[in-house]
Copies of this chain bind each other. A is one copy, B any other.
Amino acid sequence: MAREPETLAATDGRLPGRRGQATRQRLLTCTAELLEGTPWRSIKVIDIARQAGTSPATFYQYFENVEQAILVLAEELTEGAGQLAALVDGDWSEEAGWDTARQVVRGFMDYWEANRAVFRVVELATEEGDLRFRGLRVRALNAVTVTLARVVAGAAPKGSPAGDDPMTVAATLISMLAHVAAHRYGYEFWGIRTDSLVDSQARILLWSVTGRTAPAGSEGAVPAPRSGPVVGGGAARARTDAARRAARRVSE
């Protein structure tokens, strides 16, 4: 139960030196790459080790198992979520509200996009009751949800049209944003364009927060965000053993 700074301690307790850190990082990078193009359950330690040009035993020197390595990867993403909160905490006035809404939606989609593979695992593990991943997820989304709740409470003193409890409204909206972002490709596959999704979500968001309806004829160009793109490392694809194993299974 003890909560250690699990950043750098190796499994035997000692904290690694420079070379060890490098190896550890290499293993993490390879894990991320594999995750990108492989069903998560078919990632084997041996694949990661091969990819990193080392032996399975080395992997176990730094991580208990694949899951824990992914947990570390996910930990790194938590920080990027703070930028989402900053977007939410923007200008919801009569003039700027609509732009803010669209920037929030777009920010969510970009953030998800950049970290899609890791999020998949976080979602699943959370739903399966893994407390470590749940805690992580809460931490990542808590900031932005609480911020949104505060904005809702502030912008609509008499209560949002979407409900009396700001926290509930915020949670509902964040759910929408997260799920649509996660299934974006699915929708495009279905012929629903991303721009259209952004517009629709932004309208719901604006209304829920301020009670106002989006200005007419405003679909189309999304304003550039005030800051640069949201954090996130897109790993290069790699056609690996694990990917091949998985492909074989699907192609029946």
Contact = CB atoms under 8 A, between A and B. Distances in A.
A200 B186 contact: no
Contact of A250 (B120, B131, B172, B197): B131
A51 B23 CA distance: 42
B186 A176 contact: no
Contact of A201 (B120, B172, B203): B172
A225 interface: no
Contact of A127 (B120, B125, B126, B168): B120
Contact of A163 (B124, B178, B180, B196): B196
Interface residues of A, number: 60
A57 to B, nearest CB: 19
Contacts of A88: none
A190 B112 CA distance: 22
A114 B200 CA distance: 30
* In the complex, the 5 A-B pairs of residues with the closest C-beta atoms, listed nearest first: A179-B179, A163-B200, A176-B176, A41-B41, A175-B179
